[in-house]
Structure 1
């Protein structure tokens, strides 16, 4: 593409580095509902004075030599990051883009990928950022669904060749202010596209700034891929606050020694990652290495196992430990801070209490909202959430008006997660509605089967999936990773399951392996890989 002179910044930034503060009253949620009373605990509204791209540019002007990114042993300053983003803006300016038309980004995490995304943010240009690990046909279909006629890759990365989509898709109309277009992981069909309004992203970065003390002189480790919503905190909240983001190379994400070496060398103050990353760190650290520079350590995206949790205080002696719960559609919704005794307590760890500005309800079996303690399906409404999927025909059953008894005027996201709220208001995740299956007429929750498998002292990872069966309704398959040096076999594991589960809940097929289980692009255990290949 031909370079052109980049356009001037779309919004001026002040001459001093920004920090989140108060905002005018009356700011609305991304879907237009008013967040009356939904302020942070200190009374400041959940809106920063500058939008994310303007805040980054302000740091580049006032602190150009300050470190923005660390990539392997290379440090990228705010000035260098802004210069790279300006070059990418020239590429955007050379395209025949209509107002509000999104571009497609196929980007593997790197400083160049960060610069490309930042360029889109500065230009207020919506962009679809899917996992580059998706199959080419899926990627082509997603870009077509988003109406992204132009596909960009970061400087230095090979341009992907994608097949033509199966059929032309109607070009959607994006709401004004849309920035990130993220995708769900997808289970058996095309992942859903989740448009996020920049105003919602800015509210989230303001919350993260205050909660984890982000800012100049602070380093945050980013383990997740750029397309995972975890990067909104690790990368974008960090850059908006003027901190330094330590990027973990996705090509080395499962290399325990590399991960430990990066954290030991660069001493991040904040670490957020899926439980897999913490298990890898413990594997490499042994009993002699500690990461005493970490002050905040959050695990999210999946359930953490008892052994990993119990070992974290020794590995991270100076860190506050957190369990964070959220969905791509809503961003983070719950936070639970663990005290030092929690690490030895019974699992599962509570997902905690709602973030400031987040409203929640639990719908009982009859569909009405529960008051006080009880169990049911979790609904959330956050200041950071999407208004719906890009394909609104897929909203049904997910983005919804309030269930009976919740009160008017708010749009909810039905998570599909089954939870219990205790007398103290803490919420505990117990399973998923789509993990509820029937085997020989008996209701089984596959998440509970996984929990029992993980309770075995020689099991490191576990995954359970259900396959349709014309006779039994569902047939359960399970795979586990056993501990190094373990002699665990299927007979011993079946005996463990039989002592703790109904007969129908014991999987028909048990696979035991010494290596890690297959993972999704976001680092979670891939349950689909447990099922036998289709003939």
Structure 2
């Protein structure tokens, strides 16, 4: 573990402001066929800041932003960052009642949308909670077990992240970064906010067309980005569209979910000149580990500079090879959830008191091989018993994803009057695929033990339902709520 120095810039907002002053004519954003310069984006942010200032809010009082990703939404968030005002940025896909609760819980004085738009929810201002003084953004977890948790991210932590990410992936003037994830995702810390602070060009993918493989391929061809970070489904959509040969891309980062073998096999044809890496992280910690993808299974990686990673089994740190829960402490992490009552079992000191760092317990079971490499084993809360046989639903999902026509998969345990529990699965098949339940069941028979074969298989042509942070919502399959950490792992 190598310690990280203090960030070179005071904040990402300061970095953006410096780019706008020094390079006003340089491209900052691409949206559809329109390029927006740093000067133009700065003017948009200034107009939004004037609107926020006109509300007469006390310093440090947060505001809620409810908006889909767009240049106007980026400008609105920048306005909050430049004003040193915390911005709560939840998923617009959340129910109105959940959004209202989150905005109220964060003590937001108001909810705003980009100029010319009216937010679909409003709140009555309430006393704001004890928000850490350095808070810049307030993100949320998925809410897979109930109300999403609010995760405050400090300006210094975000700046330290940018200090690592920009040189690691060559982000700066004259460089383009593709932004696929919605604006409320932690992936945007690299794709959008680091890129703008470093003077790069952000190619925004319209969320309304993010599941269209042909459109994604055209965006890549037209804008020739150098850096691409996305979940495996993005790459599967490109392959299903018959795309490939994107030779401008130098860095590809897999993140967010397990990567099927057939997707890995197709990556060299998609990006023939790119260095392929896997990134592991959580909303609570941001990126934590990284590895080059050069073999299968994929290692979740080595700790980034300044990151401490432990395997803990029954309160003891695993030394050498072995399996345990992954605990991480990063220079980029939150100090804790806004609602401190939800810290239980998540944030803790070193299990043996060896240092005074604060660790996040990921809930992921990880194995360290004799060569020191780390591999994801699974999660304890994905373990169920079907007819007395232990089954890991994540492993069943992985088997389903290995079929070349499956883009997404979700598996849940549902009550059964005879067996106690049975497995239900839903998959999103590739466009144009003729995959049916008979073919998919045959695939399961070849790859899974009998108890792990889902009793029901639902095949859909549309993307599966998602949580607030874009994870496949397993509860929508009909299963019991399961505790999922907001992690990025392949």
TM range (shorter): over 0.9
Q: Compared with structure 1, are the counterparts of its residues 514 and 330 closer, same or farther at alpha carbon in structure 2 (3 Å cutoff)?
A: same
TM-score, normalised by the number of residues in structure 2: 0.92
> Equivalent of 1:382, from 320, 323, 330?
330
Query: Per-residue deviation at 1:466?
Result: 1.9
Write the distance in 1 (CA, Å) between the matches of 2:480 and 2:319: 45
Q: Does the alignment pair 1:262 with 2:262? A: no
Q: Does the Cα contact within 8 Å between 1:299 and 1:323 map onto a contact in 2?
A: yes
Write the distance in 1 (CA, Å) between the matches of 2:470 and 2:413: 21
Q: Compared with structure 1, are the counterparts of its residues 156 and 305 closer, same or farther at alpha carbon in structure 2 (3 Å cutoff)?
A: farther
Aligned to 1:291: 246
SS of equivalent residue, structure 2 residue 241: helix
Q: Does the alignment pair 1:124 with 2:81? A: no
SS of equivalent residue, structure 2 residue 214: helix
Q: Does the alignment pair 1:113 with 2:73? A: yes
Write the distance in 1 (CA, Å) between the matches of 2:431 and 2:77: 41
Aligned to 2:484: none
Q: Does the alignment pair 1:356 with 2:295? A: no
Write the distance in 2 (CA, Å) between the matches of 1:152 and 1:219: 29
Write the distance in 2 (CA, Å) between the matches of 1:128 and 1:274: 24
Deviations 1:114-152 (A, max 9, x none): 111111111110110000111111100000100112111
Deviations 1:315-353 (A, max 9, x none): 1111111111110000000111123xx3xxx34x22111
Query: Per-residue deviation at 1:500?
Result: 4.1
Query: Per-residue deviation at 1:516?
Result: 4.2
Q: Compared with structure 1, are the counterparts of its residues 255 and 497 closer, same or farther at alpha carbon in structure 2 (3 Å cutoff)?
A: closer
Query: Per-residue deviation at 1:496?
Result: 4.1
> Equivalent of 2:278, from 314, 323, 328?
323
Query: Per-residue deviation at 1:254?
Result: 1.0
Aligned to 1:426: 373
SS of equivalent residue, structure 1 residue 132: coil
Q: Compared with structure 1, are the counterparts of its residues 280 and 522 closer, same or farther at alpha carbon in structure 2 (3 Å cutoff)?
A: farther
Deviations 1:264-320 (A, max 9, x none): 01100001111111111222234xx41110000111111111111111101111111
Q: Does the Cα contact within 8 Å between 2:308 and 2:329 map onto a contact in 1?
A: yes
Query: Per-residue deviation at 1:503?
Result: 3.4
> Equivalent of 2:3, from 17, 24, 38?
38
Aligned to 1:12: none
Q: Does the alignment pair 1:397 with 2:352? A: no
Write the distance in 1 (CA, Å) between the matches of 2:181 and 2:426: 24
> Equivalent of 2:28, from 42, 46, 68?
68
Q: Does the Cα contact within 8 Å between 1:274 and 1:523 map onto a contact in 2?
A: no
Write the distance in 1 (CA, Å) between the matches of 2:225 and 2:356: 42
Q: Does the alignment pair 1:188 with 2:148? A: no
Segments of 5+ residues of structure 2 without an aligned counterpart are 482-490
Deviations 1:242-277 (A, max 9, x none): 111011111111122221111101100001111111
Aligned to 1:369: 317
Q: Does the Cα contact within 8 Å between 2:262 and 2:402 map onto a contact in 1?
A: no
TM-score, normalised by the number of residues in structure 1: 0.85
> Equivalent of 1:241, from 188, 193, 198?
198
Write the distance in 2 (CA, Å) between the matches of 1:253 and 1:378: 32
Query: Per-residue deviation at 1:498?
Result: 4.2
Segments of 5+ residues of structure 1 without an aligned counterpart are 1-35, 40-44
**If you compute each CA radius of gyration, which structure gives the higher value, 1 or 2?**
1
Query: Per-residue deviation at 1:85?
Result: 1.1
Q: Does the alignment pair 1:314 with 2:269? A: yes
Q: Compared with structure 1, are the counterparts of its residues 94 and 335 closer, same or farther at alpha carbon in structure 2 (3 Å cutoff)?
A: same
Tell me which moved more, 470-479 or 446-455: 470-479
Q: Compared with structure 1, are the counterparts of its residues 484 and 233 closer, same or farther at alpha carbon in structure 2 (3 Å cutoff)?
A: closer
Q: Does the Cα contact within 8 Å between 1:372 and 1:423 map onto a contact in 2?
A: yes
Aligned to 1:301: 256
Query: Per-residue deviation at 1:457?
Result: 5.0
Q: Compared with structure 1, are the counterparts of its residues 219 and 528 closer, same or farther at alpha carbon in structure 2 (3 Å cutoff)?
A: same
Q: Compared with structure 1, are the counterparts of its residues 64 and 485 closer, same or farther at alpha carbon in structure 2 (3 Å cutoff)?
A: closer
RMSD: 2.3
Q: Does the alignment pair 1:171 with 2:118? A: no
Aligned residues: 481
Tell me which moved more, 457-466 or 229-238: 457-466
